[in-house]
Structure 1
Amino acid sequence: MTALTVVLAVLAALPFIMFGLAKVTGRLGMPERAAHLGFTEAAYRRIGVLEIVGAAGLLVGLAFPLIGVAAGGCLLVLVLSGAVLHLRSGDGPKGAAPALVAAMLVVLYGIVGASI
């Protein structure tokens, strides 16, 4: 494991922890966002739990690389689905940008983590 792997794991995990906690706790306007995207608050909270679990998987991947890469793959599917949903809901590129940035971090982590 390199310092770059650690940095990328933490950078990739942070947005998922932050937005996952916001979804689970209903902060930062998340109930309104859930309704805008067509989700119930309960469903949106479950997505938040998946984000938190995936972020934990990225961090566990520092000790067990295959777990980190698997978690990254799952998060990538989740976040790209979210980006598509934002675009379909009329949010435009600005609305999808956080998901796309998180996707790029996960891809970078996967590339670096898989090469070790």
Structure 2
Amino acid sequence: MTVASVIVVVVLVLGLVASAGGKLTKQNLQMEVLRTVGVPEGRVPYLAVLELAGAAGLLVGFAVPVLGIAAAICVVLYFVGAVAAHLRVGDRDLTASGGMLGLSIAALVLSALTM
């Protein structure tokens, strides 16, 4: 694994943990965004668990690269869904979800190239 892939994965993990933390603590900004895209409040903890599972899988990927790649694929799919949810309701502010999608794609590509 290269230095670049380690940096990208660590930044992605930090972003996932921060995002999950905001969901679990019902941070006002995150809850407002989730309401905008139509996520029922009862499902928010499940999204946080998915983010934490993705972060854990990415970290395990340092020791078992194939699991890290599998986790990166899942994180990419998670954020494809997030971007789609924004677009579905006409929300064009893709700063957070689009940025995380780009970062997760970068982590996937770099992890796969350095396996």
Same fold by TM-score, threshold 0.5 exceeded?
Answer: yes
CA distance in 2, matches of 1:59, 1:36: 31
- The structural deviation recorded for 1:9 is 0.8
Unaligned runs of at least 5 residues, structure 1: none
Q: Give the conservation status (yes or no) of the 8 Å contact 1:82–1:99.
A: yes
CA distance in 1, matches of 2:12, 2:4: 12
**TM-score (normalizing by structure 2):** 0.88
Query: In structure 1, what is the equivalent of residue 105 of structure 2?
Result: 107
Percent of aligned positions that are identical: 30
Give CA-to-partner distance per residue, 1:59-90, whole Å, 9 cap, x none: 11111111111111011111011111112222
**Structure 1 segments of 4 or more deviating over 4 A?**
none
Give CA-to-partner distance per residue, 1:15-36, whole Å, 9 cap, x none: 2111111112211433333322
Query: In structure 2, what is the equivalent of residue 79 of structure 1?
Result: 79
CA RMSD of aligned residues (A): 1.5
Q: Give the conservation status (yes or no) of the 8 Å contact 1:23–1:48.
A: yes
Query: In structure 1, what is the equivalent of residue 59 of structure 2?
Result: 59
**TM-score (normalizing by structure 1):** 0.88
Figure out how many residues of one structure are paired with residues of the other and give that number. Answer: 114
